[in-house]
Structure 1
């Protein structure tokens, strides 16, 4: 029994049906939560040490590390029943979509620091760090997550096999 099946077996029926219907989104969200921890751990490690004066660079490096973890987890767990492309083609598409998502993720942090000047000496250290976290780790990551879920389902892990299964099921039931 998989972890998901184990959790679902202990879930009340009305909620279980919703979770099963949206299991891909749920798995994607769990992978996102895991990579959120990786992203922020690497970001703060870099930002509070070797890249203290370059928070956007530190965030970009953290996103790249988290993106690699994200690919492996999404490929092997979230979207394992989708796709059908050659692995190198799929990986290339994944990293193109993820690269665009890096830009989406960095825009709020960049705006916070360099448009709204929510940085030292214009504001206190606490305000700067809070603004960095909200803009870089909440707003930016949520925007990137929505973009990635859409892009992954549409281009990286298309449901070609699932569509063929649905089509063959329809012809079996109408025959």
Structure 2
């Protein structure tokens, strides 16, 4: 029995059926959570050190690092039952969509900083840092994940390329 099957067996009905039905979304969200941690760590590290005066640049670099990890995890786990394209074509689509995703992820932070002017000296350092975190790490991540979920399923790993559907574990 695999780890996934063992985990599914522990989920009570009717939640187990929902988990099986939405398994790709659940895996995608778990990958997203993992890459969010990576993104947050890289963003904060860069923003607190070498890019302290350039938070949007720090955010873009952080998203790029997280995107590379995301490709590997999504391809090998979240969407492993999909395929059909040559690897270089799939990767090109993934990174093209992720490039658009960088803009989607970064837009709330740019709006917070440069439209709403939530930055020092107009606001306190504490307010600036909270606004950066909320706009960059929460609002940006939610918007970017929603866009990428839709685009990956539509363009990178579309339904017509599903190789097989895993068989759900037997009911209790």
Could you say whether these structures have the same fold, taking a TM-score greater than 0.5 normalized by the shorter chain as the test? Answer: yes
1:63-142 aligned within 5 A:
63-142=63-142
Rounded Cα–Cα distance in structure 1 between residues aligned with 2:3 and 2:141: 26
Is 1:145 aligned to 2:140, yes or no?
no
Rounded Cα–Cα distance in structure 2 between residues aligned with 1:161 and 1:66: 26
5+ long unaligned stretches in structure 1: 167-175
Runs ≥4 residues deviating over 3 A: none
Show the counterpart of 1:12. Answer: 12
Rounded Cα–Cα distance in structure 2 between residues aligned with 1:124 and 1:38: 27
Q: 1:111 to 1:13 in 2, by over 3 A?
A: same
Rounded Cα–Cα distance in structure 2 between residues aligned with 1:161 and 1:113: 42
| Aligned 8 A contact 1:83 1:159 in 2 | no
Instruction: Deviation per CA, 1:46-71: give whole Å up to 9, x if none.
Output: 00001000000000000000000000
Shift of 1:153: 0.3
Bigger Rg, which one: 1
Give me the TM-score of the superposition, normalised by structure 2: 0.92
Rounded Cα–Cα distance in structure 1 between residues aligned with 2:124 and 2:87: 48
Rounded Cα–Cα distance in structure 2 between residues aligned with 1:134 and 1:19: 29
Rounded Cα–Cα distance in structure 1 between residues aligned with 2:152 and 2:164: 20
Q: CA RMSD in A?
A: 1.4
Show the counterpart of 1:40. Answer: 40
5+ long unaligned stretches in structure 2: 166-172
Give me the TM-score of the superposition, normalised by structure 1: 0.91
Shift of 1:5: 1.5
SS in 1 for 2:6: helix
Shift of 1:28: 0.2
**Aligned pair count?**
165
Q: Which has the higher contact order (CA 8 A, sep 6+)?
A: 2
Q: 1:9 to 1:95 in 2, by over 3 A?
A: same
Q: 1:11 to 1:92 in 2, by over 3 A?
A: same
Rounded Cα–Cα distance in structure 1 between residues aligned with 2:141 and 2:39: 10
